[in-house]
C-alpha cells in the first residue's frame, strides 16, 4: 500500500496585515518536521502543495532539512477555504441583534482569541450547514468536491507503495476526514480546531481505495518539550 501524508502548514501570521506568511515559529516547526522525517528515514516519492504561500513555505522549509526531496508540485485544490469570504459574506446576517460586538471582536482577533474563535466557529457552522449559501461564496459542498478532485488526481498518478506528501491546511484535512470517514461536517470541524501546525495525518491507499491511518500526529514537536512550538493557528 502507498501512503499520503497530509501536512498542515506551520503557524501563519495571525493578526498581521498578511496572514499568508509563516511566523518565525511556523518556520521552525517546518524545519523540525523535516529533521524528524529525515531521522525516521522517510523519503517522499512526490510532494504536492496548495498554492498558498504558507503551504509552499512550509514545504520548502521542511524539504530543505531532508537529504532527498522531489520537486514540489502545486495544486490549488489543496488550498484552504476562503475564511475571509465566509466571514465577510455571512457576518451581516448576525448583525446587529445576534452578535452586536462582532466587528470589534474581528478587529481585535489577535488580542481576543477566544472570542474570535467562538464567533468564527459560529460562522463556520452556518457555512457548512448549507442553509446559508450566498451568491459568490463557495459552498462547503463545492469545497469538499474541490478537495476530492485533488485527491483523485494524486491517486490517478500514483503507483503502489509510493510515499506522497501533501502540504496543505486544516480545512482541507477536515474535508478529507469528511470524505473518508463519513463523519458529519460539524463533527469534522470539532476535530479541525485540534489540528496542530505541521502535524501529520496519514492516509493509506491501494488503487483508488483510501483509508485514514492516523490523524494529527505532532510527535516531532512534542519530543522537543517546547510547548511554544505547539500551535493551532
pLDDT at position 37 is 98
DSSP 3-state of 48: strand
DSSP 3-state of 213: strand
pLDDT at position 96 is 86
pLDDT at position 129 is 96
Per-position pLDDT tens, the chain of length 233:
999 999 999 999 877 778 899 999 999 999 999 999 999 999 999 999 999 999 999 999 999 999 999 999 999 999 999 999 999 999 999 988 899 999 899 888 878 889 999 999 999 999 999 999 999 999 999 999 999 999 999 999 999 999 999 999 999 999 999 999 999 999 999 999 999 999 999 999 999 999 999 999 999 999 999 999 999 98
Q: Is there a contact between 151 and 210 (Cβ–Cβ < 8 Å)?
A: yes
Q: What is the DSSP string of 182-211?
A: ---HHHHHHHHTTPPTT-EEEEEEETTEEE
Query: Which residues 6+ apart lie within 8 Å of 186 measured at CB?
Result: 125, 128
pLDDT at position 182 is 96
pLDDT at position 222 is 97
2-80+141-229 has which CATH code? 3.40.50.1240
| Domain definitions of the chain by residue range | 2-80+141-229, 83-129
d(CA 143, CA 141): 5
Amino acid at each position: 500500500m502507498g501512503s499520503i501524508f497530509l501536512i498542515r502548514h506551520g503557524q501563519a501570521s495571525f493578526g498581521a496585515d498578511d496572514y499568508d506568511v509563516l511566523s518565525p515559529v511556523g518556520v521552525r516547526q517546518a524545519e523540525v518536521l523535516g529533521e524528524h522525517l529525515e531521522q525516521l528515514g522517510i523519503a517522499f516519492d512526490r510532494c504536492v502543495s496548495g498554492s498558498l504561500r504558507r503551504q509552499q513555505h512550509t514545504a520548502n522549509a521542511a524539504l530543505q532539512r531532508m537529504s532527498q526531496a522531489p520537486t514540489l508540485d502545486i495544486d490549488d485544490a489543496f488550498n484552504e477555504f476562503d475564511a475571509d469570504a465566509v466571514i465577510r459574506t455571512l457576518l451581516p446576517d448576525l448583525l446587529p441583534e445576534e452578535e452586536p460586538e462582532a466587528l470589534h471582536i474581528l478587529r481585535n482577533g489577535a488580542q481576543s482569541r477566544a472570542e474570535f474563535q467562538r464567533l468564527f466557529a459560529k460562522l463556520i457552522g452556518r457555512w457548512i450547514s448549507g442553509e446559508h449559501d450566498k451568491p459568490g461564496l463557495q459552498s462547503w459542498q463545492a469545497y469538499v468536491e474541490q478537495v476530492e478532485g485533488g485527491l483523485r488526481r494524486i491517486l490517478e498518478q500514483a503507483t503502489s507503495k509510493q510515499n506522497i506528501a501533501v502540504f496543505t491546511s486544516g480545512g482541507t484535512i477536515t474535508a478529507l476526514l469528511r470524505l473518508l470517514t463519513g463523519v458529519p461536517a460539524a463533527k469534522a470541524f470539532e476535530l479541525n480546531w485540534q489540528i496542530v501546525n505541521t502535524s501529520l495525518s496519514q492516509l493509506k491507499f491501494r488503487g483508488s481505495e483510501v483509508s485514514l491511518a492516523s490523524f494529527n500526529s505532532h510527535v516531532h514537536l512534542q519530543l522537543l518539550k517546547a510547548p511554544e512550538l505547539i500551535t493551532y493557528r
